[in-house]
A and B are shown apart, each in its own frame.
Chain A
Amino acid sequence: MRSEEPLAGSSINSANNKSANHDEPVDSPAFTARPVAAEEIPDQAAPTTLSTAQDVPVERPLQVDTGVFDELTRQRAQEIIARYPQPRSALLPLLHLVQSVEGYVSQAGISFAAELLELTTAEVSTVATFYTMFKRRPAGEHLVSVCTNTLCAALGGDEIYAGLCKKLGVGHEETAGRPGSSGSITVEHAECLAACDLAPVLQVNYEFYDNQTPESAVALVEALQRGERPAPTRGAPLTDWRHTELQLAGFFGEPQELRDAVDGPSAAPETLAGNRLAEEKGWTAPAMPGNPPPLPAVADKK
């Protein structure tokens, strides 16, 4: 993902395309801020399908081919929408679902979500570009997120991040290897990952690897590049980023798969530090009454 070539094949940006449609999200700076080689973006919308007529209502979604989303995905999308009293609430999980299929929020994915929720593609794009977990370029088989917020950084997070970037020859949100191929790794620096007692931490596909060092982090990505999947300190057995994205959309697989994932470890020694100390010292909270005390009376309703 380090190519400096312009987005030559991008249908949307090419001069032949009319820019009548101001809804088009790919025109937004967020999507064009960094040049990406065309071959890195699979299934970009075919330019010929873009409507250019001035009289096209703006709310009509672009006719981007959403065929990449198969019947199962469409069923899942409907399941997501059915969870909520109002369909639009399904947007974030739908975009997670898109990422589980495409490995990023693709143009087709934006159109897919827009069609399902009867939104414009602009309305979807504005949301997709707001949240850091929605990737705008195809991500690797694994996503490695290194916490570089103050506390982790003070304890070595900055060195870990710098070491991984050097090792992989990439920067923030860049991918070593062909995105999606086996052993490809996207690296990002993350904000506080809510594991400060286990600092410095990193995550692979949002599973926790606690108490890291620059050396352990490099060893971890080397293993990932070899196709191994070292177990997280806290979390489910490692799969790949797209699989995690499916879980974020709310699909956890068959009962046994869910059970295995749920049973992944969670209680680090740090988590239980207070617990263990209390046990050792015989400290407990004040005892509750034997039976729940009567609930307070309620003032007369007027």
Chain B
Amino acid sequence: MTERTLTPVLTRRWAAPRSWTIDTYTRLDGYTALRTALAADPDQLIQLIKDSGLRGRGGAGFPTGMKWGFIPQAKPGEQPTGPAAKPTYLVINADEGEPGTCKDVPLMMADPHSLVEGCIITAYAIRAHRCFIYVRGEVVHCLRRVHNAVKEAYAAGYLGSNILGSGFDLDIVVHAGAGAYEAGEETALLNSLEGLRAEPRLKPPFPATSGLYAAPTVVNNVETICTVPYIVNGGSDWFRTMGTEKSPGPKIYSISGHVQRPGQYEAPLGTTLRELLELAGGMKGELKFWTPGGSSTPLLTTKHMDVPLDFEGAAEAGSMLGTTAVMVFNTTVSVPWAVMKWTEFYEHESCGKCTPCREGTYWLTQILQRMVRKEGTPSDVETMLDICDNIFGRSFCALGDGAVSPIRSGIKYFRQEFLDLCAQQSGHPRQAALSGSVR
């Protein structure tokens, strides 16, 4: 095995003393990319990000430059019409909550100014003058660090009107969420930011034309935006020296669970679990199953240790890269139990808007809980797969698809474990599934 090394780019400043202050940030090359960007034509920046191949770090991996390019812009010298006549908004999705995912929180805590600088450059590129950073409410330390960074940036003249004499104006509002996983879905996030329940919207229209307040909006993940200043400084060729052709760049892999040294490891996209485990000091116990990028990405097993963890590699292995939240479980953990816990999560977080997800996650939870109580029957496995078929692709948003991932993949690789559990009857009279169904 060739030795893969870590490539600290976004995490480079994390160990610096008081890394969250503007003094440390500027001492370590902070706000230099901003000057380059403000001297450029905004379209050059969009092209740069397209050339770099940067893909969204929030889970879906959509090409960032393309997303920016979808924002309708008025043609020079012409009166804007349609969506182009409305203000453009930049909204940062800092509502990290996918089980296993813990990269944006340390990033915002340690280096909030990289997010602020990324926001200014992005807003300039898409011609937005208002930016909202939607921070998950439960991570109040991130909220205050980002709030403080924005305040420092205003004082230094990086925000407000006529930034660095460029004529460009930008205001950033830091907004706290209130506890809803679904708010991490981009249109639900926009609803939440508009003061509504965090329920997803029908797409199309997409946020690029009809987002916040029905105006053109770019919604990007924290890690994506934090990457932007480095691409401006290093160029797209430099960025592509890391990662793979279709999934270029460095990525923060968050390794948790039964490993010796859990934590944040920034490595080129395409790093394998085997390599990550080596970096993290190896397993505690024997590997049984793992997720490449949060609970919504199908489980993988010991057979997949050499799968390159980039968008293509994870998909080819039947999973998804997701948020590169690598949760590692050893042989002490029961797959049906783990799947039950995740399904309880999806049931709790289902927003209730669409029936397949709302009802399906409820029934799946009932069946799994019954199974873990040792009151299951062998037909429960097929029943669950049938329910999954009625959720997957039939839900309003990706939460439903995510909810079936652990169940389908759990049964795919560990069917016998489910059947064995069903064979162990507790001896108690089996509770009818309908009992207790009043929520």
For the complex, is B213 an interface residue (Cβ under 8 Å from A)?
yes
Quick one: CB contact mask for B15-38 with A, threshold 8 Å, 1 for yes?
100111000000000000100100
For the complex, is B160 an interface residue (Cβ under 8 Å from A)?
no
Chain A positions within 8 Å of B232 at CB level: 292
Chain A positions within 8 Å of B100 at CB level: 151, 192, 196
Quick one: CB contact mask for A251-267 with B, threshold 8 Å, 1 for yes?
01000001101111011
Number of B residues near A (Cβ < 8 Å) is 103
Among the 9-residue stretches B193-201, B366-374, B427-435, the one with 4 or more Cβ atoms under 8 Å from chain A is B193-201
Instruction: Please determine whether B264 and A270 come into contact, CB atoms closer than 8 angstroms.
Output: yes
Instruction: Please determine whether A89 and B5 come into contact, CB atoms closer than 8 angstroms.
Output: no
**Count, A-B residue pairs, CB within 8 A:** 285
Instruction: Please determine whether A196 and B44 come into contact, CB atoms closer than 8 angstroms.
Output: no
User: How far is the CB of A3 from the nearest CB of chain B, in Å?
Assistant: 22
Instruction: Please determine whether A301 and B325 come into contact, CB atoms closer than 8 angstroms.
Output: no
User: How far is the CB of A236 from the nearest CB of chain B, in Å?
Assistant: 6
Chain B positions within 8 Å of A194 at CB level: 96-97, 101-102, 104-105, 136, 138-139
Chain A positions within 8 Å of B15 at CB level: 267, 272, 275-276, 279
Instruction: Please determine whether A250 and B147 come into contact, CB atoms closer than 8 angstroms.
Output: yes
Instruction: Please determine whether A199 and B109 come into contact, CB atoms closer than 8 angstroms.
Output: no
A266-B262 CB under 8 A given contacts A149-B99, A197-B255: no
User: How far is the CB of A203 from the nearest CB of chain B, in Å?
Assistant: 7
A-B contact pairs, 27 of them (CB 8 A): A85-B213, A91-B195, A95-B178, A96-B137, A131-B198, A133-B177, A133-B178, A148-B341, A150-B295, A150-B341, A199-B256, A206-B141, A207-B140, A208-B141, A234-B141, A258-B144, A267-B15, A271-B14, A273-B264, A274-B11, A275-B8, A276-B15, A284-B8, A286-B7, A288-B233, A288-B235, A293-B234
Chain B positions within 8 Å of A249 at CB level: 176
Chain B positions within 8 Å of A133 at CB level: 137-138, 177-179
For the complex, is A83 an interface residue (Cβ under 8 Å from B)?
yes
Docked Cα-Cα span, A190 to B180, in Å, equals: 11
Instruction: Please determine whether B178 and A96 come into contact, CB atoms closer than 8 angstroms.
Output: yes
User: How far is the CB of B46 from the nearest CB of chain A, in Å?
Assistant: 8
Instruction: Please determine whether A277 and B279 come into contact, CB atoms closer than 8 angstroms.
Output: yes
Q: Which residue of B lies closest to A269 (CB)?
A: B263
Instruction: Please determine whether A258 and B148 come into contact, CB atoms closer than 8 angstroms.
Output: yes
A286-B44 CB under 8 A given contacts A130-B198, A133-B138, A197-B263: no
Chain B positions within 8 Å of A90 at CB level: 195
User: How far is the CB of A214 from the nearest CB of chain B, in Å?
Assistant: 17
Docked Cα-Cα span, A199 to B233, in Å, equals: 36
Docked Cα-Cα span, A292 to B141, in Å, equals: 33
For the complex, is B122 an interface residue (Cβ under 8 Å from A)?
no
Range of interface residues on A (Cβ < 8 Å): 35 or more
User: How far is the CB of A114 from the nearest CB of chain B, in Å?
Assistant: 12
The A280-302 residues at the B interface (CB cut-off 8 A) are 281, 283-286, 288-289, 292-293, 295-298, 301-302
Q: Across the A-B interface, give the 7 residue pairs with the lowest CB-CB distance, nearest first.
A: A273-B263, A91-B195, A132-B179, A274-B265, A293-B235, A131-B178, A196-B256
For the complex, is B396 an interface residue (Cβ under 8 Å from A)?
no
Residues in B lying within 8 Å of A, measured CB to CB? 5-9, 11-12, 14-15, 18-20, 33, 36, 40-41, 43-45, 47-48, 51, 75-76, 87, 96-102, 104-106, 109-110, 130, 136-141, 143-145, 147-148, 151, 173-181, 192-198, 213, 230, 232-238, 241-242, 250, 254-257, 261-267, 279-280, 295, 325, 327, 329, 333, 338, 341-342, 345, 348-349, 351
Docked Cα-Cα span, A149 to B76, in Å, equals: 52
A292-B338 CB under 8 A given contacts A133-B138, A283-B6: no
Docked Cα-Cα span, A148 to B250, in Å, equals: 31
For the complex, is A27 an interface residue (Cβ under 8 Å from B)?
no
Q: Which residue of B lies closest to A278 (CB)?
A: B6
Quick one: CB contact mask for A160-203 with B, threshold 8 Å, 1 for yes?
00000000000000000000000000000011111111110001
Instruction: Please determine whether B99 and A151 come into contact, CB atoms closer than 8 angstroms.
Output: yes
Docked Cα-Cα span, A247 to B175, in Å, equals: 11
User: How far is the CB of B183 from the nearest CB of chain A, in Å?
Assistant: 8
- Excluding A154-B338, A288-B238, 11 further A-B contacts by CB distance (< 8 Å) are A85-B213, A89-B193, A126-B197, A131-B137, A206-B138, A258-B147, A266-B20, A266-B145, A279-B15, A286-B242, A295-B36
Partner of B241, one of A126, A248, A277, A286: A286
Chain A positions within 8 Å of B76 at CB level: 301
For the complex, is A155 an interface residue (Cβ under 8 Å from B)?
yes
For the complex, is A120 an interface residue (Cβ under 8 Å from B)?
no
For the complex, is A68 an interface residue (Cβ under 8 Å from B)?
no
Instruction: Please determine whether A191 and B97 come into contact, CB atoms closer than 8 angstroms.
Output: yes
Chain A positions within 8 Å of B48 at CB level: 295-296
Instruction: Please determine whether B7 and A283 come into contact, CB atoms closer than 8 angstroms.
Output: yes
Chain B positions within 8 Å of A277 at CB level: 6, 265, 279
Partner of A234, one of B109, B230, B250, B280: B109
Instruction: Please determine whether B143 and A247 come into contact, CB atoms closer than 8 angstroms.
Output: yes
Docked Cα-Cα span, A127 to B137, in Å, equals: 15
User: How far is the CB of A241 from the nearest CB of chain B, in Å?
Assistant: 11
A117, A273, A295, most chain B CB atoms within 10 A:
A295
Chain B positions within 8 Å of A276 at CB level: 15
User: How far is the CB of B116 from the nearest CB of chain A, in Å?
Assistant: 14
Docked Cα-Cα span, A269 to B192, in Å, equals: 34
Partner of B261, one of A198, A264, A273: A273
For the complex, is A231 an interface residue (Cβ under 8 Å from B)?
no
A284-B7 CB under 8 A given contacts A88-B194, A191-B345: yes
Chain B positions within 8 Å of A92 at CB level: 175-178, 192, 195
Docked Cα-Cα span, A252 to B149, in Å, equals: 13
Chain B positions within 8 Å of A301 at CB level: 43, 75-76
Instruction: Please determine whether A192 and B98 come into contact, CB atoms closer than 8 angstroms.
Output: yes
The A67-103 residues at the B interface (CB cut-off 8 A) are 83-86, 88-93, 95-96
Instruction: Please determine whether A236 and B144 come into contact, CB atoms closer than 8 angstroms.
Output: yes
Q: Which residue of B lies closest to A271 (CB)?
A: B106
Instruction: Please determine whether A150 and B176 come into contact, CB atoms closer than 8 angstroms.
Output: no
A127-B11 CB under 8 A given contacts A261-B144, A292-B233: no
For the complex, is A145 an interface residue (Cβ under 8 Å from B)?
yes
Instruction: Please determine whether A248 and B140 come into contact, CB atoms closer than 8 angstroms.
Output: yes
Instruction: Please determine whether A281 and B261 come into contact, CB atoms closer than 8 angstroms.
Output: no
Instruction: Please determine whether B327 and A196 come into contact, CB atoms closer than 8 angstroms.
Output: yes
A283-B5 CB under 8 A given contacts A126-B197, A244-B140: yes
For the complex, is A235 an interface residue (Cβ under 8 Å from B)?
yes
B178, B234, B342, most chain A CB atoms within 10 A:
B178
